[in-house]
Structure 1
Amino acid sequence: MDLPIILKNLLEAQENFDSNSYSECFSDDPKVFDEGKTHKGKEEIKDWNEKTNEEYKTKLEVIDVFNEDQTTILTTKVSGTFDGSPIVLKYKFEIKNEKISSLKITD
């Protein structure tokens, strides 16, 4: 699959449970929407990623990628130590200036 480099970097950071590198994939004023909550800024995103890594040991497997308007959508199989694992989720990214400005995680 042909992924933008910033998404390859994000997936590698997640694979290594590296919340610092994960948060550095985002722009200076990013937003992440997950499980009904919005996380704003790199520090909040780093904290959110650390917490989910500790709680769930989240692993992502990309199933599909496509672009729709200004959004890159990754369909992923998400596994970890949570009820119902694995599940299929969509990661909807807005990328500007080679950084992630927005991520919305949906089913």
Structure 2
Amino acid sequence: MKLPENIAGFIQAQNEADSTAFANYFTEQAIVSDEDSSYTGRSEIKQWIEEAIEKYKMQSKVIDFKQTGSKGTLIVEASGDFPGSPGVMHYHMEFDGELIRSLRITG
């Protein structure tokens, strides 16, 4: 599947545990919602992904990506150190240009 560069880079940064590169795919005031918590801004998002990478050692394989206007849904098969691995996760995204303005993760 041919992904937009920003989505391919986002997944690559996550899989390579590069929290700085990962956070740079978000706007300065982006919001991430995951596991009943929210994180605002690149600094909090960077800290969140560092902790998630350390805790879950997750790797993601893209199943599908669809974008309509400024909204997109990324579906991945996630594997790692968590119950039910591997599992399917849905990343509900809103974009500001190429950057992610909001991300809500559901599984």
TM-score by length of 2: 0.93
Correspondence for 1:81: 81
Correspondence for 1:45: 45
Once residues 3 and 29 of structure 1 are traced to their aligned partners in structure 2, the CA distance between those partners, rounded to angstroms, is 24
Partner amino acid, structure 2, of 1:61: K
Correspondence for 1:61: 61
Q: How far is 1:63 from its partner?
A: 0.7
Runs of 4+ in 1 over 3 A off after TM superposition: none
Once residues 4 and 27 of structure 1 are traced to their aligned partners in structure 2, the CA distance between those partners, rounded to angstroms, is 17
Correspondence for 2:9: 9
Matched, 1:20 2:20: yes
1:66-101 deviation digits (Å, cap 9, x = unpaired): 124531101111110111111111011111121111
Q: How far is 1:5 from its partner?
A: 1.5
Percent identical residues = 36
Q: Is the 8 A contact 2:73 2:90 kept in 1?
A: yes
TM-score by length of 1: 0.93
Partner amino acid, structure 2, of 1:5: E
What are the ranges of 5 or more consecutive residues in structure 1 without an aligned counterpart? Answer: none
Backbone CA RMSD of aligned residues: 1.2
- Number of residue pairs aligned between Structure 1 and Structure 2: 107
Instruction: Please give the secondary structure, in 1, of the residue aligned with 2:50.
Output: helix
Partner amino acid, structure 1, of 2:100: I
Q: Is the 8 A contact 2:94 2:103 kept in 1?
A: yes
Q: How far is 1:33 from its partner?
A: 0.5
Once residues 102 and 4 of structure 1 are traced to their aligned partners in structure 2, the CA distance between those partners, rounded to angstroms, is 17
Once residues 94 and 87 of structure 1 are traced to their aligned partners in structure 2, the CA distance between those partners, rounded to angstroms, is 23
What are the ranges of 5 or more consecutive residues in structure 2 without an aligned counterpart? Answer: none
Partner amino acid, structure 1, of 2:89: L
Correspondence for 1:105: 105
